[in-house]
Chains A and B, each alone.
Chain A
Amino acid sequence: MRVPLLELRQISKRFRDTVVIPDLSLSVAVGEFVGVIGPNGAGKTTLFGLISGNLTSDTGSVMLDGEDLTALGADARCRSGIGRTFQIPQPFQGLTVYENALVAATFGAGLHGEEAAVQAVESLARCGLHVLGDQLAGSLTLLQRKRLELARAIATRPRLLLLDEVAGGLTDGEVGELLTLVRAIHHSGVTVVWIEHLVHALVSVASRILVLAEGRVIGDGEPDAVLRNQDVRDVYLGSDLDDEVHHAPH
């Protein structure tokens, strides 16, 4: 069997007295598109923090393509190929849109000079932001910030892209545009793990759904099968989930 792209081995995390993730193991194969759902406080964002390295796990190990990243900081993990976006976009506000992408291409992808510039422009173009290159990132609208968050993440040339609620707070039309964009990024060979509250949006693109509750995986598999699972339905109080899935705009 091929080495999984991402493998988490028995990681755990507590904040003071609260155990957010008691003991979690998980693997993601190259080329997968994994959607992560779960109620608030399930530990989804913490999980991303442990993978991207801005949080350190108390126990266990994080492997990328067979390489142990557990001891590495967020910057080294980014250079190893993990890209991440935040639920609340965090552009470098004092930098221009272009400079945001350029910093990512320079340091995340390790490119220099012309190569870095090309990578930055391409990433912005894919996210439809190239015309705004000279604007300060602080002046962008929410949708534009979300796009910049994505552009900056792909400018680091990730092998694994972690998306944290990129669709939250957007209109249906905007969500549709974003789905198209993420699908294209996935088609270009990037493995995607996407946390999203909008279950219908996730189901339309993900090949696998992972359900977290209280830091544990309570459902994992093909979207349809997972959403029929009784444990998962209990967590989502049944009807909510049906509404989510059947009122999908597509």
Chain B
Amino acid sequence: MQAMIETLLNGLMLGALYALFGLGLSLSLGVMRMINIAHGDLIVVGAYFTSVAMELTGLGALTSLVIVLPLMFALGWLAQITLFNRVVDRGPLPPLLLTFGLSIVLQNVLREIFTADTRSLHAGDLARRGFEVGGVSIGVLPLVSAIAAIVLLGATHWLIGHTQLGRQARAVSDDPSTARLVGVDDRRFFAIVTGFIFATIGVAAVLYAIRTPFSPSAGPERLLYSFETVVLGGLGNIWGTLLGGLIIGVAQLFGAKLSSGLGPFFGHLVFLVALLARPQGLFGRGA
């Protein structure tokens, strides 16, 4: 019984991290109506950035976020004004093609620089720490990353509801051409949004790389988890994304308990079943 509770808790904590993966995808879909196929590869890029930053500065994995976050923001901003702004507003296909190409380029550049070997980030002492509650052991690191993910999701939800940036996001997402007619410079705004998305990718990248090794080809798998999370929760709903992430996380870990290689498979299976029952996502509005 305690083992079951432990698996459930670990699944929930992993799932919160998947929700953080999904946040960026959900935002770019919601605000810019574009799907970023390179999302998973960017999670891997963030992990490599952190790895390099740790080597160069001697900082720990979490503290190196001080460097990685601004770097990812700048990268997102730059990607939007040089690449993505050329394809937003042109229907669904051009962004898919562009980011698919970007995904291939990123994977190959990473392989060229870092070889195809897997790496992992070491969180040092923190990774081994844990505590017990009623016979159930909880790792400090998974707990910290789950809390960080939920705080970030909550902060984003609040930003969208209560700030000028959020109003801008909702107006542009509602009707981009009308937003321009009341003076909103959507292209400049998109650069800020993508900067923010890349920064959330940076956080997710570090938290995930601490627990899971990565290699240049690990991106598509991460993209898949992000996608399942967003679609399962229902598009455009941050709390839905959180719930979607939690479900996938729990399904994966219970699956892995049955047979160690079957974790991701069970995640996909639950996704499939849930989608058959509710094609619009758990929190999505009816079609």
Bound CA span A94–B164, Å: 15
B174, A152: Cβ atoms closer than 8 Å: no
A74, B168: Cβ atoms closer than 8 Å: no
Chain A residue contacts of B182, Cβ below 8 A: 78, 103-104, 107-108, 152-153, 155-156
B181, A78: Cβ atoms closer than 8 Å: yes
Bound CA span A90–B186, Å: 17
Q: Does A200 contact B (CB under 8 A)?
A: no
Closest to B184 in A: A107
Q: Does A84 contact B (CB under 8 A)?
A: yes
B171, A95: Cβ atoms closer than 8 Å: yes
Q: Does A79 contact B (CB under 8 A)?
A: yes
Interface residue from A73, A92, A94, A109 paired with B178 (Cβ < 8 Å):
A92
B168, A103: Cβ atoms closer than 8 Å: yes
Q: How many residues on A have C-beta within 8 angstroms of the other chain's C-beta atoms? A: 30
**Interface residue ranges of B86-128 to A (CB < 8 Å):** none
Q: Does A54 contact B (CB under 8 A)?
A: yes
Q: Does B180 contact A (CB under 8 A)?
A: yes
Chain A residue contacts of B173, Cβ below 8 A: 94
How far does the Cβ of A124 sit from chain B's closest Cβ, in whole Å?
14
Interface residue from B168, B175, B177 paired with A107 (Cβ < 8 Å):
B168
Bound CA span A104–B179, Å: 8
Given A99-B167, A103-B168, residue A108 in contact with residue B174 (CB < 8 A): no
A92, B174: Cβ atoms closer than 8 Å: yes
Q: Does A224 contact B (CB under 8 A)?
A: no
Closest to A73 in B: B180
Q: Does A106 contact B (CB under 8 A)?
A: yes
B178, A75: Cβ atoms closer than 8 Å: no
Given A90-B175, A106-B164, residue A95 in contact with residue B181 (CB < 8 A): no
Given A95-B167, A103-B167, residue A156 in contact with residue B183 (CB < 8 A): yes
Q: Does B170 contact A (CB under 8 A)?
A: yes
Q: Does A52 contact B (CB under 8 A)?
A: yes
Interface residue from A95, A100, A108 paired with B183 (Cβ < 8 Å):
A108
Q: Does B185 contact A (CB under 8 A)?
A: yes
A103, B180: Cβ atoms closer than 8 Å: no
**What bracket does the count of chain B residues touching chain A fall in?**
10 to 19
A107, B170: Cβ atoms closer than 8 Å: no
**Interface residue ranges of B169-212 to A (CB < 8 Å):** 170-171, 173-175, 177-186
Chain A residue contacts of B164, Cβ below 8 A: 106
Bound CA span A104–B168, Å: 10
B183, A109: Cβ atoms closer than 8 Å: yes
How far does the Cβ of B46 sit from chain A's closest Cβ, in whole Å?
31
How far does the Cβ of B57 sit from chain A's closest Cβ, in whole Å?
38
A94, B168: Cβ atoms closer than 8 Å: no
A84, B170: Cβ atoms closer than 8 Å: no
How far does the Cβ of A90 sit from chain B's closest Cβ, in whole Å?
5
How far does the Cβ of A68 sit from chain B's closest Cβ, in whole Å?
19
Q: Does A76 contact B (CB under 8 A)?
A: yes
Closest to A84 in B: B181
Q: Does A93 contact B (CB under 8 A)?
A: yes
Bound CA span A89–B20, Å: 37
User: A64-89, CB under 8 A of B: which get 1 and which 0?
Assistant: 00000000011110110000101000
Q: Which among A93, A104, A109 has the greatest number of chain B C-beta atoms within 10 A?
A: A104
Q: Does A150 contact B (CB under 8 A)?
A: no
Q: Which among A54, A104, A107 has the greatest number of chain B C-beta atoms within 10 A?
A: A107
- Chain B residues engaging chain A, CB cutoff 8 angstroms: 164, 167-168, 170-171, 173-175, 177-186
8 residue pairs, one from A and one from B, having the closest CB atoms? A108-B183, A107-B183, A78-B183, A104-B182, A74-B180, A92-B174, A75-B180, A107-B184
In the complex, besides A94-B173, A106-B167, A108-B183, 6 extra interface pairs with C-beta distance below 8 angstroms are A75-B181, A75-B185, A92-B171, A99-B167, A102-B167, A107-B185
